Amino acid sequence: MPDFATLAVFCAATMALLLVPGPAVVFIVTRSVAQGRVTGLVSVLGIHTGSIVHVAAAALGISALLAASATAFMVVKWLGVAYLVWLGIRKLMTRSDDGELATVRSHSRSRVFWEGFVVNVLNPKTAIFFLAFLPQFVKPELGPVAPQIILLGVVWIALGMASDGAYALLASALSGRLRRSTRARRRLDVSSGVIYLGLGAAAAFTGEPAKA
């Protein structure tokens, strides 16, 4: 199992990434603004039910990848770095649409839950995290890889529920202002871009994990 220091660094990196608005956060915020707090929280549950798929895929796939080929692992790692940098640049260049939050249609809560599930299963930000960033915290010399990934995945989901739940509550409370404020959304884009670039740099300078 990862040691305390590794878990602490992982939690810090996870929170930094979770706080960056990606497809999941955008979905949660738009549902919270359009339909209120309860529907926003239902969307959070759907999103992190989808996260379970990523945890399972990572536990199976990364274990096999680490065992099979260090070169393949490094290819995945650098693709992840490139994607994080691309996300950062795209966020910095984003121009928010004034009508983006004002045109969302209402849906039933069950539909919102399953839409959230699909959004996160197909979320490239989450997939890249589990395929290219999370493995930096796995230490094969400490034992089997899969249980370590499952533990880190559970930590991710717990922190994700907390941060995304906060987004849902805040968005529902500030729904009127979020509909009107292009400047606030632009500031969020800039800070998101900087965090993505920082995470890309962190992933790039983290060494290759040792093979079992």
Domain layout of the chain by residue ranges:
4-204
Distant-in-sequence, close-in-space partners of 127: CB < 8 Å, separation ≥ 6? 54
The gap between the terminal CA atoms of the chain, to the nearest Å, is: 14
* Residue 210 pLDDT greater than 70, yes or no: no
CA 109, distance to chain mean position in Å, is 22
Cα–Cα distance for residue pair 83/171, rounded to 1 Å: 28
* Residue 98 pLDDT greater than 50, yes or no: no
Q: What global pTM score does this model have?
A: 0.67
Of 24, 37, 4, nearest in space to 155 by CA: 4
Sign of CA dihedral 190, 14, 24, 90: positive
The radius of gyration of the chain from alpha carbons, rounded to an integer in Å, stands at 18
Share in percent of the chain as helix, strand, coil (round to 5): 80, 0, 20
pLDDT band per the 50, 70, 90 thresholds, residue 45: very high
Cα–Cα distance for residue pair 93/199, rounded to 1 Å: 18
CA distances from 140 to 67, 161, 210 (A): 10, 28, 6
CB 150 within 8 A of CB 37: no
* Residue 73 pLDDT greater than 50, yes or no: yes
Cα–Cα distance for residue pair 88/112, rounded to 1 Å: 28
* Residue 208 pLDDT greater than 90, yes or no: no
